[in-house]
Amino acid sequence: MSEPRYKCIGTRPIRPDGVDKVTGRASFGADLSLPGMLHGRVLRSPHAHARIRSIEVEPALAVEGVKAVITAADLPDLASQAAQGAETQTDFRDLSRNVLARDKVLYHGHAVAAVAATSRTAAERALAAIRVDYEVLPAVLDLDSALAPGAPILHEDLRTRGLAGGGAPTNLAARIEIGRGDVEKGFAEADVVVEREFTTRMVHQGYIEPHAVVARTAEDGHSVVWCCTQGPFVVRAYCARILGMDLSRIRVIPSEIGGGFGGKTTVYLEPLAILLSRRTGRPVKMVMTREEVFRATGPTSGTRIRVKIGATAKGKLTAAAATLVYEAGAFKGSPVTAAAMTMFAPYRLEQVRIEGFDVVLNKPKVGAYRAPGSAMAAFAAESALDEVALRLGMDPIDFRLANAAREGTEAPYGPKFRRIGFVETLEAAKRHPHYSAPLGPGQGRGVACGFWFNVGLQSSAAVNLNEDGTAVVVSGSPDLSGTRISLAMMAAEELGIPIERVRAVVADTETIGYSDLSAGSRVTFATGMAVVEAARDVVRQLSERAAAIWRVDPREVRWEEGRALPPQGAAGGPEPLGIEELARDAARTGGPIVGRASLTARAPGPGFATHICDVSVDRETGRVSVVRYTAFQDVGRAIHPGYVEGQIQGGAAQGIGWALNEEYLWDSSGAVENPGFLDYRMPIASDLPMIDAQLIEVPSPTHPYGVRGVGETPNVPPLAAVANAVRAATGHRFTDLPLSPPRVLEALDSEG
């Protein structure tokens, strides 16, 4: 079957918002200021675990310029209920108690009170004046301590979900299990069995822009919120629930966003700004410092993963088992379930069993981070697979090819895959020049693969036709990665007009229908489907207008290249009507033309990737340098190939940083010791080679243009790809990340 020919899809138009962003004209979260605006600040706990005996706010209210002080006593005390729309597990009760601590503080930096004042200086003085009487409690700062008998308990009402019986209070929030078959039988059939334990540390998403919000409340009690967020509708829903307000009383306007990667899918400051604005009757602006971002927002989990894999001498996997223990932070809800579901998903396994544990401890509540939970699981699985291939004397790509998931393969978590391109990524990697290129002294090459589901969820979109035949695409999905131009390109393709005549905008919660988060690699897939439907609605209306002018059946009208074509075969028939003419005459033929669509996008196309990494290891210092990196990914169909390549490069860069240097460092009291980019070592341009992104296009059968989400899959393989390369370079299997110079040097020195 021949490939469809597109005029716009697959091209590389210039990013329309690029100039504003590089020149500083774009408006981000902290850029807005309003007349009469107050400045809000948050008082945070100096303890990792303590009971709040009392809070005296009167001294703060006496500070000149202070207009309001709030604590958890000013919020409704919510019952436990799962929150909808989140990328990771969220409970409204926990969410409220994370926004402002009630009864206990559960991590160093936990919000205790908030103030609004006429200046930042006055707000800081007010924070210093608040008197909090704490009863300091023992803190649990690692998984072993949290699960040990007699461990200090964070939540007296917490019982383990997924275990029979009520039991005593615990720090084990949940246990999950997935799999099928008889794994013990599978291991008995194996000629080679590898079993190892792997550990990773908490890491942060590293977005450049800190959280920021401005809230203004009108005389009628209606609040307007400007904030940097991945989901304005989620902000509205969470704030309404935390504050006990109707949804209709809150309007959320998303600003441009300076990075999120899952870290801006919840609320921290927004409910506080709304409540302070309601108390004072004035706009309130709140902006986190970088230190607050590190201490008080959601990193991803630290983990401990035990994995066991068996294979025959001919390289067929016989069984796989794993135990995943994930840090949730102060409140339940780590991404352990997603980790368990994705861990072995790239491979055909008849005997597989995965057990996962969600553990609370005195650290910030974890948040989503680009394919939440799966990078750590892939580190363990792909490292063990690499070792199996090594023991069998098999090429690591050939070993994976022999066991690769294909169309019809049943995933460990249940469903059968439709058309997927995992095998194609492996084959492309095997034949790429990188894989056969010679290596220098002290260098090693690693291979790893990864999988992410991608999601659909709910989206709304509108396509408004202007009087001159240009179009505006309106959606409720914040643009983190160039999705505005991708949506515009799909609309242009449907309408048959140049991309320069289509503009895409992100609307607020009162001007477009509900849309879920910009997360889960869903926007180009799901919101794109809504845009395609809305554009087709416009084409239908245009065709009906042309049919009315020609007095023919609308079903006889064809739409091609931006024109309505009259019925075929009519001698001396009317001339085609272009979109400009039909738009110009819309007032006479029925009024404005607006296409709309709202949907729940189901069956998203899953994403697979194979990465090759070359490293150089300095045995005198322990420093690991990535010298070459190539990423192969099944992207479905690349709407804008340049943006897809950027997503892959960005995901790989984040994963490399995670593998080599990034980690939260804690002192003995539970305080973060490196809460800033100076000491939290993220990679910069000089740390990385040019990452070669190879696009493998196996169109998804569930999208009009074959789109698969691409943003999260590239963050899954890098941890293992780097670690496997370091093993190849040194002969040592590293099981604890990051591979920072001291850790690598210690291991090499211990081996002599």
Alpha carbons 240 and 50: distance in angstroms, whole number: 28
In which band, very low, low, confident or very high, does the pLDDT at 604 lie, cut at 50, 70 and 90? confident
For 485-527, the pLDDT digits (tens) are 999 999 999 999 999 999 999 999 999 999 999 999 999 999 9
Length of the chain measured in residues:
752
Instruction: Give residue 564's identity as a one-letter amino acid code.
Output: A
Nearest in space to 688 (alpha carbons), one of 724, 656, 666:
656
The torsion region of residue 267 among left (phi > 0), alpha (psi -120 to 50) and beta comes to beta
For 630-640, the pLDDT digits (tens) are 999 999 999 99
Residue 570 predicted with pLDDT over 70: no
Average pLDDT over residues 199-216: 98
pLDDT at residue 89, rounded to an integer: 80
- Answer positive or negative: Cα dihedral of 360, 363, 368, 371: negative
CATH number of 303-454+605-750: 3.30.365.10
Bridge-based pairing state of the strands 317-329 and 352-360? parallel
Token representation of residue 670:
């539970």
Bridge-based pairing state of the strands 607-617 and 624-634? antiparallel
Residue 164 predicted with pLDDT over 90: no
Residues 6+ apart with CB under 8 A from 734: 723, 726, 727, 743, 744, 747
The proportion of the chain whose per-residue pLDDT surpasses 90, expressed as a percent, equals 95
Token representation of residue 458:
């709910």
For 522-550, the pLDDT digits (tens) are 999 999 999 999 999 999 999 999 999 99
- List the Cα angle 609/614/616 in 5-degree steps: 150
3-state secondary structure of 287: strand
β-partners of residue 306 are: 197, 323
Domain boundaries along the sequence of the chain: 18-23+456-601, 32-137+208-259+264-296, 303-454+605-750
pLDDT at residue 274, rounded to an integer: 98
Average pLDDT over residues 472-477: 98
Residues 6+ apart with CB under 8 A from 47: 105, 108, 134, 136, 139, 669, 670
Alpha carbons 326 and 358: distance in angstroms, whole number: 5
Helix ranges, 625-717 (H): 641-660
Alpha carbons 732 and 752: distance in angstroms, whole number: 12
pLDDT at residue 569, rounded to an integer: 65
pLDDT at residue 196, rounded to an integer: 98
The reply to whether 303-454+605-750 shares the fold of 32-137+208-259+264-296 is: no
Residue 147 predicted with pLDDT over 90: yes
Average pLDDT over residues 565-586: 88
Question: Are the C-beta atoms of 521 and 603 separated by less than 8 Å?
Answer: no
pLDDT at residue 752, rounded to an integer: 65
pLDDT at residue 636, rounded to an integer: 97
Alpha carbons 562 and 632: distance in angstroms, whole number: 36
Alpha carbons 482 and 504: distance in angstroms, whole number: 11
**Residue 389: is it exposed, middle or buried by C-beta count within 10 angstroms (0-12/13-18/19+)?**
buried
For 73-100, the pLDDT digits (tens) are 999 999 999 987 777 788 999 999 999 9
In which band, very low, low, confident or very high, does the pLDDT at 709 lie, cut at 50, 70 and 90? very high
Question: Are the C-beta atoms of 273 and 225 separated by less than 8 Å?
Answer: yes
Bridge-based pairing state of the strands 38-44 and 284-287? parallel
Token representation of residue 381:
């699985």
pLDDT at residue 665, rounded to an integer: 98
How is 120-137 classified by DSSP, letter by letter?
HHHHHHHHHH-EEEEEE-
Nearest in space to 609 (alpha carbons), one of 418, 452, 496, 459:
452
The residue ranges of DSSP E strands in 427-543, in sequence order, are 443-452, 457-465, 471-475, 502-506
Question: Topology of 18-23+456-601 in CATH?
Answer: Aldehyde Oxidoreductase; domain 4 (3.30.365)
pLDDT at residue 166, rounded to an integer: 67
Nearest in space to 29 (alpha carbons), one of 478, 364, 461, 372:
478
Alpha carbons 81 and 282: distance in angstroms, whole number: 32
pLDDT at residue 85, rounded to an integer: 72
Mean pLDDT check: name the lowest of 453-467, 517-531, 570-584: 570-584
The per-residue pLDDT of the chain, averaged, comes to: 96
Helix ranges, 624-717 (H): 641-660
Average pLDDT over residues 635-647: 97
* C-alpha pair distances (Å), 147 with each of 143, 172, 421, 672: 6, 7, 41, 22
Residue 368 predicted with pLDDT over 70: yes
What's the DSSP call for residue 526? I
What's the number of CA atoms in the CB half-sphere (13 Å) around residue 482?
21
Residue 1 predicted with pLDDT over 60: no
What's the DSSP call for residue 527? I
32-137+208-259+264-296, which class in CATH?
alpha beta
What is the torsion angle, in degrees rounded to the nearest 10, for the CA atoms of residue 464, residue 525, residue 424 and residue 655?
120
Token representation of residue 660:
């080599």
Average pLDDT over residues 468-493: 97
Q: Answer whether the bond into residue 554 is a cis peptide, omega within 30°.
A: no
Task: Give the DSSP H or E segment for 317.
Answer: strand 317-329
- Answer positive or negative: Cα dihedral of 670, 676, 679, 681: positive
Alpha carbons 92 and 88: distance in angstroms, whole number: 13
pLDDT at residue 607, rounded to an integer: 97
Bridge-based pairing state of the strands 558-560 and 352-360? unpaired
Average pLDDT over residues 560-587: 90
Burial 273-310 (b: 16+ CB within 10 A, else e): bbbbbbbbebbbbbbbeeebbbbbbbbbbbbbbebbbb
Task: Give the DSSP H or E segment for 242.
Answer: helix 232-243
Alpha carbons 449 and 471: distance in angstroms, whole number: 41
Alpha carbons 485 and 480: distance in angstroms, whole number: 11
For 26-42, the pLDDT digits (tens) are 999 999 999 999 999 99
pLDDT at residue 158, rounded to an integer: 96
pLDDT at residue 67, rounded to an integer: 98
Question: Are the C-beta atoms of 229 and 478 separated by less than 8 Å?
Answer: yes
Residues 6+ apart with CB under 8 A from 213: 29, 225, 226, 227, 228, 269, 270, 273, 285, 286, 287
Instruction: Tell me how crowded residue 187 is: count the other CB atoms within 10 A of its CB.
Output: 18
What's the number of CA atoms in the CB half-sphere (13 Å) around residue 432?
24
The model's pTM is 0.97
pLDDT at residue 87, rounded to an integer: 78
Residue 165 predicted with pLDDT over 80: no
Alpha carbons 427 and 632: distance in angstroms, whole number: 10
Alpha carbons 270 and 255: distance in angstroms, whole number: 13
3-state secondary structure of 502: strand
pLDDT at residue 2, rounded to an integer: 59
Helix ranges, 367-508 (H): 374-392, 396-403, 422-431, 433-436, 483-495
pLDDT at residue 547, rounded to an integer: 96
